[in-house]
Structure 1
Amino acid sequence: MKWALVLSGGGSKGAAHIGVIQALEEAKLRPSMVIGVSAGSFVASLYGTGYSSSEMLSITRKYHDHFLFDFDWRWAWHALLGLFYKICGKPSLSLWPRIPNGILRGRQFERLLERIWDQQCLDGTSPPVVITATDLVTGSSICFLPKGLSPLRPLPYRRFLYDVPIARAVRSSCGVPGVFQPLYMDSMALVDGAVRSNLPADIAQALGAEKVICVNLRNPDLPGHSTKNLIETMLRSLDILGYETDLRTLQEGADLVLEPSVTMSVFDFSQIDGAVQSGYKTTLSALPEIRRILESPKKKIVEKERPLSSNHLQAQIPSKPQIRFNGRKKPLA
């Protein structure tokens, strides 16, 4: 049975993915492929390049303090300059277009990622790793994948690329709009993969996965810390905005959804140990259902042509009865 593990974004909450992988490895359940979005791309890449769960946690602890040391101070300079002009009675809107398109440049983040993977590409990752980002120019999901893995059918607004360094792919997938500046590659302006889809189960199916298990860290119903600053407010808004899209994706493509109860804010790395434990316990409670799903026959996917602007074929997938696990004793239907 060919099955995919899809790891969503979630900032520091992504540490829960480490616990999920730990529980699956202990149960000797190894996915045929792992698809990572944003924070999920970081954990997926560590997993695919041979790091154990304890090593993943150690790396996360070691590097998290450095992720934000890359401010673009031009915004402060232009704000002060604008204030000066206003005081002098000479307001000028021409200053606003020069404000940078992200608080953090992301160069330091990419250098840190290169310390882990250097210029290594996704070829040879085991299990094969797929990373998604979003192109602001076309609105498409950009899928970085290893050679030997290719889509079985075309998908609208999806583009598949090979031979991209892991560090660059992860940097683009984690580029939260407004926080990180876009990563420019060829004619693309790449930002967080979750902007287009936080749980791309359709991509997993297009790559041949017969079963799809998703780990969802974006749930607006979970109680969390109140937003304390501009970044947290913006990220919380994106979570709420994207959740309806996630629900549609999950209904069409996911066989099982794991939802670890992680209530910390996306930049709160002081609680990553608790996030790992939440992911681990949630997966342990779901193991019987995971085994049942992986042993059950796959559903038939019928291809039908739709009047899409891209003239692609799109799979008509029947809605799947979902089991959702959030770490409680009983699964949520």
Structure 2
Amino acid sequence: MRALLLYLALAASPAWALPEASPDAMLRDHLWRELTRLPKGERPTVGLALSAGALRGLAHVGVLQVLEDAGFPIDVVAGTSMGAVIGSFYSAGIPVSRLWTIRDRVHIGSGSNYSTVRLLTLVLADRLLSTVNMERIIRDELGDIHFHQLAKPFGCVAMDLKTGEKIVFRSGPIAPAVRASMNLPGIFEPVMYRHRYLVDGGVVDYIPADVARLLGADWVLASVTEGDYTDFKPRNVLNMLEQVIDIRGALLSREQRKLADALIEPAVGDIDYYQTRRAGEAMDKGVLAAKEKLPRIQEQYIEFSLPRLLRRWQPGAKP
């Protein structure tokens, strides 16, 4: 079968275009060019699922940079929590180069700010903290844009605190939906929206591969930024709450991984929610992970798409 594909690839290429490379590399590169030049609708629709992970989720920016540089087609995007923030900006058409500056605007909070007095105040207070500033940041970047106005189809996830129901946003205004999706329970007050009390979607859908398929994806690539608490030592109540949320997310992701066709997993497990000084490191690790996995991911998408490519090469098929 591989020999046949190589023959077809060589026959379809002009002599001057053939690279000096191994047969496998020649085959992959040619099929990749053939595949990515096809418009959406003539190749399998690619969905990108961006996981939850708070500050670790900034690694998604590095992943997007590598995919964009490689010309990897992304047709629909789904995000949870920080994945919803990155995903909404990207789906709105904001250049990936600009997303690198998000670390200077999205302040999840620095662990050094949570002194004993501040923690005690938070625990005893009648009101939780608010994410209204996050909504303001989103509005500053995107304006009062609605889902249908985005450059790419996008969806994000939150949870209704009253019912435990997963809420998938695919319509309406972007800003409150994304704010709800990254609204950590127990730290930030629920977002009131359409008679619901909404909190972070990572509690119910850590890797929203299912949402990407709901948006029409045939093939889903997931960027996963789970925590690693092998050497966990609790420092304060917020740190313990962070671990509880992450353990819940890890349990969910065991099954949700199976809904994705390919995975990129940046090595950001040791980055805590509030270590803002490590934001750039998280992004860089996204680049490293994506570069390492890129050849295999390209092959996986090619393999999935082969039936369509072969049909195009049949005698009498339209070019």
TM-score norm. by structure 2 comes to: 0.73
- Alignment size in residue pairs: 256
Whether 1:183 and 2:191 are equivalent positions in the alignment is yes
The Cα offsets for residues 92-120 of structure 1, whole Å up to 9 and x where unpaired, read as xxxxxx833x3x12223322322222211
The Cα offsets for residues 169-196 of structure 1, whole Å up to 9 and x where unpaired, read as 1110010001111011122111001111
Name the % identity. 28
Paired residue secondary structure (1:175)? coil
Whether 1:132 and 2:157 are equivalent positions in the alignment is yes
Q: Which has the higher helix share?
A: 2
Whether 1:283 and 2:290 are equivalent positions in the alignment is yes
Give, as a single letter, the amino acid of the residue that structure 2 aligns with 1:99. D
Aligned-residue CA RMSD (Å)? 2.6
Correspondence 1:221-300 to 2 at 5 A: 226-251=233-258, 253-262=259-268, 263-297=270-304
In structure 2, how many angstroms separate the alpha carbons of the residues matched to 1:220 and 1:65?
19
In structure 2, how many angstroms separate the alpha carbons of the residues matched to 1:224 and 1:261?
15
Give, as a single letter, the amino acid of the residue that structure 2 aligns with 1:249. Q
Residue 120 (structure 1) aligns with: 145
Change (3 A) 1:169 1:49: same
- Given that 2:155 and 2:211 are in contact with CA atoms closer than 8 Å, whether structure 1 keeps it comes out as no
Paired residue secondary structure (2:58)? helix
- Given that 1:67 and 1:109 are in contact with CA atoms closer than 8 Å, whether structure 2 keeps it comes out as no
- Given that 2:110 and 2:274 are in contact with CA atoms closer than 8 Å, whether structure 1 keeps it comes out as no
Bigger Rg, structure 1 or 2? 2
Residue 309 (structure 1) aligns with: none
In structure 2, how many angstroms separate the alpha carbons of the residues matched to 1:121 and 1:267?
30
Give, as a single letter, the amino acid of the residue that structure 2 aligns with 1:23. V
Structure 2: runs of 5 or more not aligned: 1-43, 306-319
CA shift, 1:63, in A, is 4.1
Residue 126 (structure 2) aligns with: 99
Correspondence 1:1-333 to 2 at 5 A: 1-64=44-107, 76=121, 79=124, 99-100=126-127, 102=128, 104-145=129-170, 162-163=171-172, 165-220=173-228, 226-251=233-258, 253-262=259-268, 263-297=270-304
In structure 2, how many angstroms separate the alpha carbons of the residues matched to 1:258 and 1:206?
21
TM-score norm. by structure 1 comes to: 0.70
The Cα offsets for residues 252-302 of structure 1, whole Å up to 9 and x where unpaired, read as x1111211001211111111111111111111111111111212237xxxx
- Given that 2:110 and 2:275 are in contact with CA atoms closer than 8 Å, whether structure 1 keeps it comes out as no
Between 116-125 and 25-34, the greater mean CA deviation after superposition: 116-125
Structure 1: runs of 5 or more not aligned: 80-97, 146-161, 299-333
Q: Which has the higher strand share?
A: 1
The Cα offsets for residues 62-107 of structure 1, whole Å up to 9 and x where unpaired, read as 34278999xxx9x84994xxxxxxxxxxxxxxxxxx833x3x1222
